[in-house]
Structure 1
Amino acid sequence: MPVDFESYHPNDLPDEDTNGRRILEFLASHHKLGFRASELAEELDIPRGSVGTTLRRLEQRGLIRHKGKYWAINVEAYDAHTASVIGLQAVADQFEGDYYDQNSDWDSDLPDLDTEQTDE
């Protein structure tokens, strides 16, 4: 399938609900730690064989790195968009089910900051 060459970035995130995306989001939420493939498989409930293949693909795309048996997010490779997407998803996951998530009209009584207010 052809793509718009100018907007195509090979380091874009894997599609949502894929093993690659789950691994990236997990590593991003633990960006100072490295994990063994077996630990990722257990933590994310992904078959061990799939984890190894996925890690190699993510590394080839420059999204993760490894030292010995440990894998970590490649923070330096992220552009602002990628970091924002992962960060926002991590926050959404962390606060899923809280008051604001369960009450979609929580902001209905907030003042409209776009209207001009003058001091008289």
Structure 2
Amino acid sequence: MPIGIDAFDDEPDAALDVAVGTQPYRVLAFLVEHDDQAFTQTEIHERTGIKRGSVGSVLSRLEDRGLVRHRGRYWAIAEDDRLASFAAQQAASSASTTDDYYGEDEA
């Protein structure tokens, strides 16, 4: 679906456009959660459930966008300002799943 030229022009260059639930989103969410470690493609496959054959292409596309980095066999989250808001969103989402939605026990 096309968008208007005004929306096109107003889109910030720094926006991180990764749709929730997609394979790139799942890889980024995993790497953000473990930002102090680097993983092989096999480990990412095992931890995210993404098909082994798809992990490499996802990582390559993310690397092209500057969102992940790798050295040898290992991949890690990149140091990119766009990822700060993504990490904050992940933390908020994670916290909301552990909140007590039922409030205090009623006696």
TM, length-normalised to structure 2: 0.77
Which segments of 5 or more consecutive residues in structure 1 lack a partner in the other structure?
108-120
Partner of 1:68: 72
Q: Indicate which of 76, 84, 89 corresponds to 1:85.
A: 89
Q: CA deviation at 1:11?
A: 5.2
Partner of 2:9: 5
Between the aligned partners of 1:37 and 1:31, the Cα distance in structure 2 is 15
TM alignment of 1:93-108, pairs within 5 A:
93=97, 95=98, 100-101=100-101, 103=102, 106=103
Between the aligned partners of 2:54 and 2:16, the Cα distance in structure 1 is 20
Closer, same or farther in 2 for the Cα pair 1:66/1:91, shift >3 Å?
Answer: farther
Does the CA-based 8 Å contact 1:20-1:58 persist in structure 2?
A: yes
Does the CA-based 8 Å contact 1:13-1:82 persist in structure 2?
A: no
Closer, same or farther in 2 for the Cα pair 1:70/1:57, shift >3 Å?
Answer: same
Partner of 2:33: 29
| Matching of residue 16 in structure 1 with residue 4 in structure 2 | no
Larger Rg: 1
Which segments of 5 or more consecutive residues in structure 2 lack a partner in the other structure?
none
- Aligned pairs, how many? 99
Closer, same or farther in 2 for the Cα pair 1:90/1:25, shift >3 Å?
Answer: farther
More helix by share: 2
Between the aligned partners of 2:15 and 2:58, the Cα distance in structure 1 is 14
The percent identity for this pair of structures is 33
